Every structure is written in C-alpha cells, then in structure tokens.
Structure 1
Amino acid sequence: MEARRETPFGDAQEPFAAPNAGVRRLLRWAREHWLLPILLLAAAVRFYDLTAAAVWGDEGSSLLLAAYPLDGIWRHAAFDVHPPLYFMLLHGWIALFGDGIFAIRSFSAVPGIATVALGMWLVDRLATRRAAVMAGVLLALLPTAVRYSQEVRMYALLGLLLVAATLALVCWIKRPQRRRYLAAYALLLTAALYTHYFAVLAALSHWLYLGLIRLQPGHRLRHIQRRDWWLANLAVAALYLPWLPNLLGLLQHLEALKAGGDVGWEDPVTLSSLPSMIWTWLIQDDGEHLPLPVFCSVPLAVLALGWVAVARDRSVGHGSALLALYTGVPLLLVFAVSFISPMFIERYLTAYALGLPMLAAVAVDRLYAGARVLAVAALVSFAGVEMIGVNANATVDPNDQFSVMVDHVNRHYAAGDRIVTSDMLWYLSYVYYNRTDAQVRLFTPPAADGRPTRPNSYGFGTLVSTDVYLDRLADLPEGSRRVWLIGSLDDPAEFGPLPDGWQRVSEVHAGGAYARLYVRPSADKPGG
C-alpha cells in the first residue's frame, strides 16, 4: 500500500467534511483506507462472546437507573458518581431493542466500533494514509477498548465522544474559518462531560495543545487567542450549567460517597502502578508478576514510540503532540492525584488509552522511511501484545457465571421463598436475572459498634428502596420456611451466625458466588 505524502498538519482527504463531497468520495476514502475490513475486525472482537460474561454489579446499576423515566434519571444521577447522559441514551436504546443481554451490551459495542473509524480519520488528518490504516488495526485490537465495548457502562461512549471532539478540534485548527467544526467540538465535549466527569481531562489536554502550538518556535498558530475558541468554550460552560449544582453537591458529599464505598475503594497507588496501567490497557493484566526487566520493557517501548512520533513530527501543527497530550496528561494527572485519593482505575482512563495505538501507528509510519525492519518489528510486536489481551478478554467460561447460579434459583424457586443477597453488587446483578416474584433483599447487619451499614443516599443507595434492606435474618417475614442466601465464596461467613434451627438443604455456586437454600424450623414461631 502506497503511503500518501504527509503534509503540514493534515492536508489529508476529508471524507465527511464537505457537504457536497458525496457518497463517491466517502466510498473512495473507505476503500483506500481499508475501512470495511478493519471495522469488521473491530466488530468481530467486540461481538465475540458478547453475552458470555454475566452482568455484574456496575452494569446492574446502569440498568436500574436507565429504567427510570428521563426526569427520574436526571434526579437519581445527581446522587451517583456519573452524569446522566449515558443512562438516558440507554433508556431509549432499551425502549427500541429491549433489555436482553445482547441488546444492552450492543449499546457499548456499536460506539466502540465507530470509535475505530473516527480514530482512523483523526490519524489520517494528522499523518498519512498508511498511519491511519495501522491505527485502525491497532485500535480495533486494543484490549481495554474491547473490554469496555462489552459492558453496559459509559466508557465506550465516552471514548467515541472524546475522539470525535478531538477530530473536530483538528479540523477547526486546519480551517478556522469553518465554524461548524468548532460548534461540533462544543457539542461533543459537552456530551462527553454529561457522560463522565473525567472528560474534563480531555478539555485540559486540548487547551495545553493549543498553548503549545502558540508558543512553538517559528510558525505559531494563534488559535488559542481566537474569539471563536473562547466563545465555544463559554458555550460548553453554559450548556453544562444545568448540571453544575449537582456536581457541586457531589463534591460536598464526598465523605458520604466514601462511606458508601462508591469512591475511595481503590487500593493506594505505588510507583509501579503507572507501568501496571500500561500493561492493563494492553494485556488486561497488571504485569506485576513479571520479572522486572520484562515489566519495564513494554511501558518503556510505548514511551519510546510516543517520543518517535512527536520528535519526528515536522508538520506545522505538531499533531503528534496532541495525541501525546491526550493520553499522557490524563494518565499522569490521575496517577498523581491518586496518591491523595485513589482513583487510578482502568475503566476511568480507557477513553484516553485510545491515544496509544494512534501514537504507535504514527511512530511506526515515521520509522518506516529510514528503518523498515525496526518499523515492522514494532508494529508486529505492538499488535502481538494486544492479541494477548484480546485473548484474555475472550477467555470466559459461560458455565461459571453468576447468572448460572441465579438460573438455578429461578428453576428451584417455590412460592413464598425468600431471597437475601449479602452485598450491594451481588444485589444489583441478581435483580437483572431474577425471574421469580420474590422481592430480593439486601443484608445490611449493623456494625460491631451498632452503627448501621445501610447505603447512604448517594451512589448505588439511591437506586434501592428502604424496604429492600434486611438488618437481621430473624426479621424475615413469616409465610415460608425456605430462604435462599446469596453470598461470596471468598467470605462464607458474611451472613454471620444463622438463627437457631436453620438447616442447609442445598447449595450451588458459580461466578464466585453461592446460593444456599435453608429451611427454617417453623414459619409459625416468632423469628423462625
């Protein structure tokens, strides 16, 4: 494949920009960039085993929140740790396609695939056709992107919005007289901010990039001083104002969120957490079990590729610096802040991991002119590491899933049975699979000092009515002698001492959880 000559800041073809470009131009761009086979690859790895893993607690919370009407979603999301847009869109998606596991996870798979196309377009604007094709392949295989394209959460949508916003910014920098690009940027960034709070880090990287190209020696690009840029950002702020009181309320109640386990549950970071994040993005494993030279090798190789992409960028706009800032600024900033309050979590940063394969593709493209063997080796190595992670994502045993255990309860349930879960995350997952008429209860025993352990009014607790909570097993209403206890295999004593006379008659476990069926001595005795 012949590479198109790289021109100052992306004189690449613009397949969708001009209103009169027409279908032929779009098809020609797609054919030249191998768009169809690359998107088929992206779809294959995202839809493969899409329904194999059971819905877990966070996904269950998405479904509970999306079940509310739109005004209810807005109200409840104000007490959650995520803004409302994803849940509103999921609400509409479910109304159209239903709440089957394939349908609800497709709502993440489709944006994940679309992001690959937008990433190719972005690299095509910043470098060459060859770099765009390589970026497409590496984006299609990026394990962290594949993983979160298979979950009922907002991270795939966030990646789509941020890559699209970055693309709109690049198009505007090239042609600042076309204000529609800046209008698109403002709308996309606003949508991203309504999807996840970490979207603000993308805005920060964009500002830093415009400051960099303004201060660069030689030809300076003064876009950061343009009135249109400031007006676009004021528009973003104005559009976000309706949500701002809710965000400030969340910040004021951080302690309540920490008490409920919705923030601050992550382990403290160490110096090794930074390279571990790179490993996690690429192979879905933190790599800390590896020998030190191997553990350091891949993060250092990624850093070297980023340096090559930026150092060899001779374009006026230095678009490679934009990609480096897009990934590097959020990664380093969240890592640093996590020494104060841990939040260095893969899924929160997956949207920014998308910059890695784009940077790698640009670096390989620039190496190719003078060191073809090294360039090919770097490309094959990067793709090979990604394949390890893709394989890890695909290694799911459908017979050892939480849903298998719930299905057992559904099939053996008798009218009047009681069902009690030990943990909020088990509860959120269980209610999705529950096919009985029982009200699933959540066990919330008082702490040793008598303090209540019921969730507070922030985080997941806002999605659960108070009649779901059960402080003592002896408080279960009478009317049935059978009780199903749903808990974790890692903590078999989490329900504490059982009431006198309870007898276990069956047990099944799957997906790290158990379902134990107990028979009470008599439904007539008080507390029995």
Structure 2
Amino acid sequence: MAANRVTPVGDTQDPFAAPGSWFGTRWLVRWVKEHWLWPLLALAAFVRFYDLTAAAIWGDEGSSLLLARYSLSEIWKHAAFDVHPPLYFMLLHGWIELFGDGIFAIRCLSALAGIAAVGMGIWLVDRLATRRAAFVAGLLLALLPTAVRYSQEVRMYALLGLLLIAASVALVYWIRRPQRHRYLVVYTLLMSAALYTHYFAVLAALCHWLYLIVIRVQRGYRFRHIQRWSWWLANLAIVALYLPWLPNLLDLMQHMEQLKAGGDVGWEPAVTLSSLPSMIWSWLIQDDGESLPMLVFVALPMALLALAVVAVMRDLSVSRGSVLLALYTGLPLLLVFVVSFISPVFIERYLTAYALGLPMLAAMAVDRLYSRARLFALAVLVSLIGVELVGLSNNANVDSNDQLDRVVNYVNQHFLPGDRIITSDMLWYLSYVYYDRTGAQIRLYTPPTADGQTTRPNEYGFGTLVNRNVYLDSLAELQGQGRVWLIGTFDGPEEFSPLPATWQPSAEIHAGGIKARLFTPKPRAD
C-alpha cells in the first residue's frame, strides 16, 4: 500500500510508515524523545490553566455539579431527562470523589482533556502529513480560543473533542493496517464514549463514513475499507453499546416541547445567513464579529475556506487525509447551520469539538504553501496566530472581583439563622448553590403567570435536578418569617415585584450581573 503513495513536495516522512505497537513501549519511547512536542503541550497547558478560577461557576456548570452529586445509577436516571448523555457527569462524579469539588479541581478535568486533545491533534496530523505540519497544527490548536474557553468549564465539550480526535486517529491507523482489528476495537470504544458524552458526536461518525466513501471512489488508488466486514461489525458494535441509552434518547426526543417550555432548548435566536461567518469569528476571537466592517467580516471566513481548498487540492497522498479534516470541520458546521433554520441549535460550545479540525486543516495548508512560497506561508501562519491571540485576550478579560461568588460570599458572611434565600432564575439558582455555605435551603421563585399558569420547570432539562420543595410561588408565604435575601439581576425588570408591604430593604450588594438584597420586617407602629 505504501508503494502507491505519492509523496507531497516537502514531505519528510511517510505518514503510512509502520506504526509499530500503538500503545506499547516503542510508541511511548518515540514520543518522549520528540522534544518539539513538549513546548507545544506546555503552551497548551499554560493558556488553559491561566486564570482557570477567575470566572465564577455559571448555570450550566452548576447543573453539571448538581448532577455529579448523585450516585452513578441516579446520574443515569437524571441524565435521561437532561439534554446531554451521562458519561461526563459520571466521570465528574468520580473526579470529585478523588480531588474534591474546589473550583480549580473540578475545572482541571476539562483543562487536562483540552491539553490531551492538542496532543491527539498533533498525532493525527503527524500521521496524515509532515512533521512540520504537525508542529504548526499543535501551535494553532494550543492557542485556539474556543478550545481554551471550553477547556476551562465544568462541561463535556473538551472531553468530546478529545474523544473524537482520538477516534479519528484510530480510524487512520486502521486504514493503514486494516488487518489489525485492535485499531477498530479502539475506534469502537472511543466513538461509543463520545456518543455517551454528547449527541452531536453522531456528526463525527457521519464524517468518518463519508471519508471512507471518498477514498473508495477517488481516482487512482482506491481504499475498499468501507466494504470490509470488520468496519460494519465495528459500527454495529457501537450501536449495540449505545442500545441501553437509546430508549432514553427516544423519550427525550418525544418531550422536546417540554424542554423548550423549560428553556433548556430553543432559547438560541434564529439563525441568519450571517450566523455562519459569525461562528467562525466566535471560534477564533470569542466575538461574533458582526460589529466589524462587512469586508473584514467576510474576509476571514473566506480566507480560511481558501486554505481548506489548498490543503485538499494539494494533498497528493493516496489516503487524502486532508479530506478527512475538511469533512470533520465543515460538514457538522454546515449541517447544524441548516438544521437551525428549523430548530435553532447553532451554538458555539456544541461545535467546539469540530472547531479543532480548523487549525489542523490550516496547518496542512501552511505546510504545503511553505514548499513553494515560504514568506507567504509564514505570513499566513503569523496572521492566524495573531487572530488567535486576540481571542485569547478576550477569553482572559475576566474581572475576578466582579463575579457572582462575591455576592454569594457576602450573603454567607452576613447570614443569620432563620434567614431565607430566594433566587429569581434557574441559572442563578444552579450557580448560587455551589458557593452557598449557609446550610439554608436555597429556593427558586416561580410566580404564576397573569392567567394562572405555573412557571415551575417540568421534570425535563434542569427541572430534573430540583426538588419540588425548592419552588416558591408567592413571596407572601414568607411574611412574618424574618429576614429574606432576594437574589436576582439588577439591570432588568424587577423579578420579585410586587414586594410585600411589610418588608423594608436593609442591605444590598451586586457583582457579576447579579444583586443580593436583604429585606427585614418593618417595625410595627405603636
């Protein structure tokens, strides 16, 4: 098979060289000796651990922590009513058992997964192209702002990226040595784990199938892997491993309207044609870019598209590895964009795992440009790094003194036995309970609508994490019960209006978009 490969100009290695023992000593020794690899991983670690605890836990992270408090069997049960599968929450449960629930400890799980994903990306490009391309990919992956951001959150997105890139590596190794079924076993386990981590993992499976079709029908050397019984058996095994969760997924799909009613899905604004380039800008600078001049707004996505074309068109290898990366990056982006015209799900964090393909694809293009136009290739690389540094700067723009935890700590310090604490919104509730040290039951204000309809969440989505006795439908229930803390926003309409006439404000503090106000009973008139 290796004899049929046409080596690109500037290629210093054969990506289909015998891999040896994949998980054995030879592989480990080889990579330990790769001194260029460690600075890249150190850079990835630095940007992910920098200011790791600066931002307060927000609502989605709080939901992860609430779910992780349950036993493994209860996590399975409650995740069945949530919008995400259970694997990440189970891992977080075990992680907390080992390292505690301090904010640094719990965010380390994602940070380490993000760093490992950079290593996997380097490994993948090293198999598909040259060592130079692998180095550039590692540099761009280490600095990718969307990957850094979600490597600093107590959510599943960094883990998903790691699993999908690792599965792609296993696929590439199997294509090289299809007789070695252990690569497909690894692929099966990784893809199954990815599907138990996030439902959008199915898009990666689709990309892998399409890639095998492309290399089957391409001109010249044709790979017949998609016709192999082992490939079909591996995918059947993935389905079989997913069957225990399938009834939960089907039930969840039947109750999507309840999820929408609870605000857990469908809250994203409707997409427009500008949403697609905005997503690219969000991946790279953590800003939708829509305030930029139109020419600039369109130029960057078009430039990246041109790089993708260069990577694919100048790929002379028989495996056409650039096609794999192009599909992995572009297909999920386009599919989710189109689907979002029907049901808005075009959300950055859902696609961050696929954004990892963008630096790898760009690295392959830069590598191929370097062979013929070195100065231009270096200018492209410097420009990409500059854009990513802007995004990292935006990520790091967090004022640790203007965060929700400052408000909660104030309440913790001034809390007296018998005080009541009421939050106005589910997301505030999920964040607040992580920092609360009072031991009081934090309650969620859910006043009926004007026509008497309840605003309590149903049992799907975040509602599965909250007991019924947490809800408070009327502030009048608290009259005569002493001091009350109201926790809500301070830049919008009054969430708690009308307040009982017998209350008077006593103290308040605000930070991070949230305000805590203490109300005490008015003195009785003589």
Q: Same fold (TM over 0.5)?
A: yes
C-alpha contact 1:57 1:426 (8 A) present in aligned 2 = yes
Letter in 1 for 2:22: A
Which is further off, 19-28 or 132-141? 19-28
| TM-score, normalising length: structure 2 | 0.96
The letter for the 2-side match of 1:489 is F
Aligned to 1:5: 12
Identical pairs, percent: 70
TM-score normalised by L of structure 1: 0.96
- Alignment-derived partner of residue 3 in structure 2: none
Q: In structure 2, which of residues 120, 123, 129 is the aligned counterpart of residue 127 of structure 1?
A: 129
Measure the CA separation in 2 of the matches of 1:518 and 1:127.
65
In structure 2, the CA distance between the partners of 1:20 and 1:63, relative to structure 1 (3 Å rule), is closer
SS state at 1:99 partner:
coil
For 1:353 and 1:415, how far apart are their aligned partners in 2?
Answer: 49
Q: In the alignment, what sits opposite 2:190?
A: 188
Judge conservation of contact 2:10–2:371 (CA < 8 Å) in 1: no
Does the CA-based 8 Å contact 1:70-1:88 persist in structure 2?
Answer: yes
Paired residues, what number?
516
Look up the equivalent residue of 1:454 and give its one-letter code.
R
Say whether the 8 Å CA contact 2:158–2:353 is kept in structure 1. yes
> Displacement, 1:250?
0.2
Q: How does 1:109-120 map to 2 (within 5 A)?
A: 109-120=111-122
Letter in 1 for 2:340: S
Structure 1, unpaired ranges of 5+: 524-528
Change (3 A) 1:475 1:18: closer
Which residue of the partner structure matches residue 526 of structure 1? none
Letter of the 2:522 counterpart = P
Check 1:281–1:296 CA distance in 2 against 1; reply closer, same or farther (3 A cut): same
Which of the residues 391, 394, 413 maps onto 1:392? Answer: 394
SS of match in other structure, 2:447: coil
Q: Rate the CA distance shift 1:188–1:477 in 2: closer, same or farther, 3 A.
A: farther
Distance 1:91 1:73 in 2: 9
Distance 1:23 1:224, change over 3 A: closer
Shift of 1:6: 4.9
* Cα distance in 2 between the residues matched to 1:19 and 1:439: 52
Tell me, which stretches of 5 or more residues in structure 2 are unaligned?
1-8
- State how far apart, in whole Å, the 1-side matches of 2:109 and 2:23 are: 29
Whether the 8 Å CA contact 2:485–2:518 is kept in 1: the answer is: yes
1:293 aligns with 2:300: no
2:59 equivalent in structure 1: 57
Q: How does 1:191-210 map to 2 (within 5 A)?
A: 191-210=193-212
Partner of 1:485 in structure 2? 486
Q: Does structure 2 conserve the Cα–Cα contact (< 8 Å) formed by 1:326 and 1:355?
A: yes
Q: Could you report, residue by residue, the CA deviation over 1:205-233 in whole angstroms, capped at 9, with x for unpaired residues?
A: 00011011111112111100000000000
Residue 174 of structure 2 is matched in structure 1 by 172
| Number of the residue aligned with 2:30 | 25
Q: Aligned letter for 2:222?
A: R
- 3-state DSSP class of the match of 2:515? strand
Question: How far apart are 1:92 and its partner, in Å?
Answer: 0.2
Task: State yes or no: 1:219 paired with 2:221.
Answer: yes
Contact 1:15 1:25 in 2 (8 A): no
Q: What does the per-residue CA deviation read over 1:73-100, in whole Å, with 9 as the maximum and x for residues that have no partner?
A: 0000000000000000000000000000
- Whether contact under 8 Å (2:283, 2:348) holds in the other structure is yes
Equivalent residue, structure 2, for 1:413: 415
In structure 2, what is the Cα distance between the partners aligned to 1:95 and 1:135?
A: 35
Partner of 2:510: 509
What letter is aligned with 1:415? P
Match of 2:319 in 1: 317
The answer (yes or no) to whether the contact 1:45–1:141 under 8 Å persists in 2 is yes
Corresponding letter in the other structure for 2:244: P
Cα separation, partners in 2 of 1:515 and 1:16, compared to 1, 3 Å: farther
Q: How far is 1:438 from its partner?
A: 1.2
Give the SS at the match of 1:21.
helix
Q: Which residue in the other structure is 2:6 paired with?
A: none
Q: CA deviation at 1:507?
A: 1.1
The alignment partner of 2:324 has SS state of: helix
